[in-house]
């Protein structure tokens, strides 16, 4: 293996424990990387370290070894419920990877108990695991760790357990902040003792990170590691042995080009990045069908328990395709990745560098290729300036065939695929609108019709971005998409049940509207009858004569109203009677008024 080296392990100014040296030999780590040779001696001499190093430079061993060395030098042996080391990392995959590396070394140190605390499982299970097994070395994601500090009611007092803490490591610290964990980190830091060693490792330096350095580290030694062979004036952020390419194709040809490329490299190990979870779900399932003879796996941030298993399985594969979002962009070490393909450029430019860093790790050679739309080609120049990341144009992909009709057939044959396609399109457009490099990635320049064809949609979804627009270049399939059924019989049964319920709810709604209308009309008639009763009562109170005709009329109205309410007569008949009665009363009143002896006007 062609390694970027900085001397053998025995050239360190501090001596490593014999068992650690033995494990390094077993793992075939003969040489150190620059970040390891710089950080390990400082950490072991009880210095706080803030290290910035290019992705794929071997940062994990740069803190795993000193963590063990510090714990081995403790005067008192750690008891079962005493935490000596805490390693915080942004994603489950990174946490799993660190646990695996640490586990290899701990085989020779059975006195230390390691525990992994990550999301995707029941927190009560973690509580019981800590209580039963103990925890001397904790590897955790911030959310789950913060949760564990609040589990005193469940019998876990982690705040007391960390009072014995010797060393804290914040791995991929810049991403911890990018992912919104700042508040969780501040909460966790409040529980930790001030007398500790702290190591902060990242691929980039930001102002937010500087605040964290000031809050969590005491007089840190700052280390910036450049690769050998890279000029001092250059700050190239991608590995030196990475060949970085771009290709330009229209939206409707992008997926076809991707499929052709994957078919030609299916015996290699590849990562394929998409911008959203929905795109991974849709295109990942399509690739499972279209790339014959290749192991295709999908990972994104919305997956729960199975995410950990998929990641572990893919690491073991000799060849295969992992379709993923940026959850796999940082710090993840997958052995022997040959190609990183970026079907969608990431939302922020720094993520571009981190994605590429999944290949060409620790001195290996690797390749990366990003697919750009014609209007996005200026992104190449932007990356060379903004990220010091030069790209070369890749030759046109050969043997490209149109697989979009096949993708449409998949949608027509299974509602699950159809719905995933619609969600993928919507999520892609929404992600595009939020791109940080909005001068290049402008949503108003997107050709929605061409994009929809590239997604092999049967029809366009209803969404605000398309409202009031017409798309003559997009032809919808002549099919009622409501008739597309789920291949999964249980899901289709549930859908039919839901549709039947919707039909009943709709009928009830119509009937309720009519009832409210009728009810309002009946109330009007009630008012008319009540009016007559009030008028008759007033006459009695005033001492006026109420003749039998008035009483008969009133009783008749009341009887008719009861019949109407019971449905024995129609509204029309009732209304006719009321109008006739009112007309008769008006005529009678006029005649009486004409014969009045007081008409000459008092």
Question: Are both 215 and 261 inside the same structural domain?
Answer: no
Strand ranges (DSSP E) for 292-333?
296-299, 320-324
Residue 272 lies in a domain: yes
Question: Are both 447 and 507 inside the same structural domain?
Answer: no
Note the pLDDT tens digit of each residue in 188-206. 999 999 999 999 998 777 7
Strand ranges (DSSP E) for 189-237?
197-202, 221-225
Note the pLDDT tens digit of each residue in 259-301. 999 999 999 999 999 999 999 999 999 999 999 999 999 999 8
Question: Are both 374 and 423 inside the same structural domain?
Answer: yes
Residue 119 lies in a domain: yes
Note the pLDDT tens digit of each residue in 63-87. 999 999 999 999 899 999 999 999 9
483, 518, 541 - which closes a domain: 483
In this structure, the strands spanning 296-299 and 114-117 are unpaired
> What's the average model confidence in pLDDT over 33-57?
87
Q: Please name the residues in contact with 132: beta carbons below 8 A apart, sequence gap of 6 or more.
A: none
Taking the whole predicted model, whether its pTM rises above 0.75 is answered as: no
Residue 592 has pLDDT above 50, yes or no: no
Question: Are both 124 and 252 inside the same structural domain?
Answer: no
Strand ranges (DSSP E) for 235-319?
242-248, 269-273, 296-299
> What's the average model confidence in pLDDT over 161-178?
91
User: Which of the four pLDDT bands, split at 50, 70 and 90, describes residue 526?
Assistant: low
Residue 494 lies in a domain: no
Instruction: Quote the crossing angle between the two packed helices 34-44 and 59-72, to the nearest 10°.
Output: 20
Question: Are both 268 and 307 inside the same structural domain?
Answer: yes
Give the lowest-confidence range in 55-59, 105-109, 557-561: 557-561
Question: Are both 221 and 252 inside the same structural domain?
Answer: no
160, 193, 225 - which closes a domain: 225
**Pairs from 56-59 (Cβ < 8 Å, separation ≥ 24):** 56/239, 56/333, 56/357, 56/358, 56/359, 56/360, 56/361, 56/362, 57/4, 57/33, 57/225, 57/227, 57/239, 57/362, 58/32, 58/33, 58/362, 59/35, 59/171, 59/201, 59/331
Percentage with pLDDT > 90 across the chain: 55
> What's the average model confidence in pLDDT over 340-357?
88
Residue 493 lies in a domain: no
452, 483, 514 - which closes a domain: 483
Tell me how far apart the alpha carbons of residues 388 and 240 are, in angstroms, rounded to a whole number: 12
Q: What is the pLDDT of residue 55?
A: 66
With beta carbons less than 8 A apart as the criterion, state whether 113 and 80 touch. Answer: yes
Question: Are both 516 and 438 inside the same structural domain?
Answer: no
Question: Are both 247 and 107 inside the same structural domain?
Answer: no
Distances from the Cα of 118 to the Cαs of 15, 209, 307, 457, 460, in angstroms?
Answer: 34, 23, 12, 37, 39
Residue 596 lies in a domain: no
Question: Are both 267 and 213 inside the same structural domain?
Answer: no
Nearest CA among 371, 389, 277 for reference residue 324: 277
Question: Are both 474 and 538 inside the same structural domain?
Answer: no
Residue 488 lies in a domain: no
User: Which of the four pLDDT bands, split at 50, 70 and 90, describes residue 18?
Assistant: very high
> What is the span of the domain harbouring residue 147?
9-225
Question: Are both 400 and 529 inside the same structural domain?
Answer: no
The CATH number given to whatever domain includes residue 194 is: 3.40.50.300
Residue 594 has pLDDT above 90, yes or no: no
Question: Are both 464 and 563 inside the same structural domain?
Answer: no
**The total number of structural domains that make up the chain:** 3
Residue 1 lies in a domain: no
Distances from the Cα of 155 to the Cαs of 86, 146, 423, in angstroms?
Answer: 20, 16, 43
User: Which of the four pLDDT bands, split at 50, 70 and 90, describes residue 602?
Assistant: very low
């Amino acid at each position: 293996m062609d390694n970027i080296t900085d001397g053998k392990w025995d050239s360190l100014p501090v001596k490593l424990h014999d068992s650690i040296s033995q494990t390094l030999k077993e793992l075939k780590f003969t040489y150190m990387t620059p970040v390891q040779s710089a950080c390990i001696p400082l950490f072991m001499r009880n210095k706080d370290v803030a290290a910035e190093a290019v992705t794929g430079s071997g940062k994990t061993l740069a803190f795993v070894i000193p963590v063990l060395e510090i714990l081995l030098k403790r005067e008192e042996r750690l008891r079962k419920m005493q935490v000596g080391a805490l390693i915080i990392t942004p994603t489950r995959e990174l946490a799993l990877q660190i646990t695996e590396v640490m586990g290899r070394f701990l085989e020779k140190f059975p006195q230390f108990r390691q525990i992994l605390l990550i999301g995707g499982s029941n927190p009560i299970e973690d509580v019981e695991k800590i209580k039963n097994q103990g925890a001397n070395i904790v590897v955790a994601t911030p959310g789950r760790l913060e949760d564990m500090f609040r589990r005193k009611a469940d019998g876990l007092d982690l705040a007391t357990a960390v009072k014995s803490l010797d060393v804290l490591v914040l791995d991929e610290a810049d991403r911890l902040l990018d992912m919104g964990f700042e508040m969780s980190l501040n909460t966790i830091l409040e529980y930790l003792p001030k007398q500790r060693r702290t190591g902060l490792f990242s691929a980039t330096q930001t102002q937010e990170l500087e605040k964290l350095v000031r809050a969590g580290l005491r007089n840190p030694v700052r280390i910036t590691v450049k690769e050998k062979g890279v000029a001092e004036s250059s700050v190239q952020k991608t590995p030196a042995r990475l060949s970085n390419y771009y290709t330009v194709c229209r939206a409707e040809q992008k997926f076809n080009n991707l499929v052709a490329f994957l078919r030609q490299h299916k015996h290699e190990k590849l990562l394929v990045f998409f911008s959203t979870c929905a795109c991974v779900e849709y295109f990942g399932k399509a690739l499972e069908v279209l790339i014959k003879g290749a192991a295709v796996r999908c990972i994104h941030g919305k997956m729960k328990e199975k995410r950990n298993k998929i990641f572990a399985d893919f690491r073991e594969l000799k060849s295969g395709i992992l379709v993923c979002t940026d959850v796999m962009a940082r710090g993840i070490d997958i052995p022997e990745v040959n190609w990183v393909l970026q079907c969608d450029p990431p939302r922020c430019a720094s993520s571009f560098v981190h994605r590429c860093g999944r290949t060409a790790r620790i001195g290996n050679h690797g390749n990366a290729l990003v697919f750009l739309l014609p209007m996005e080609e200026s992104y190449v120049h932007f990356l060379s300036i903004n990220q010091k990341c030069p790209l070369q144009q890749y030759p046109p992909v050969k043997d490209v065939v149109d697989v979009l009709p096949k993708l449409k057939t998949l949608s027509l044959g299974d509602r699950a695929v159809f719905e995933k396609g619609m969600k993928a399109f919507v999520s892609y457009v929404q992600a595009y609108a939020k791109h940080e490099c909005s001068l290049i990635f402008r949503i108003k320049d997107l050709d929605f019709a061409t994009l929809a064809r590239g997604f092999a949609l049967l029809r366009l979804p209803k969404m605000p971005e398309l409202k009031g627009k017409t798309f003559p270049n997009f032809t919808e399939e002549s099919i009622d998409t409501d008739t597309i059924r789920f291949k999964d019989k249980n899901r289709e049964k549930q859908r039919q049940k839901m549709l039947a319920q919707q039909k009943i709810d709709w009928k009830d709604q119509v009937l309720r509207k009519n009832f409210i209308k009728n009810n309002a009309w009946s109330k009007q008639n009630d008012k008319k009858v009540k009016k007559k009763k009030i008028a008759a009562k007033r006459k009695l109170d005033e001492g006026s004569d109420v003749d039998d005709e008035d009483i008969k009329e009133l009783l008749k109205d009341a009887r008719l109203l009861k019949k109407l309410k019971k449905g024995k007569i129609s509204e029309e008949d009732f209304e006719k009677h009321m109008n006739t009665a009112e007309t008769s009363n008006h005529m009678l009143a006029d005649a009486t008024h004409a014969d009045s002896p007081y008409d000459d006007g008092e």
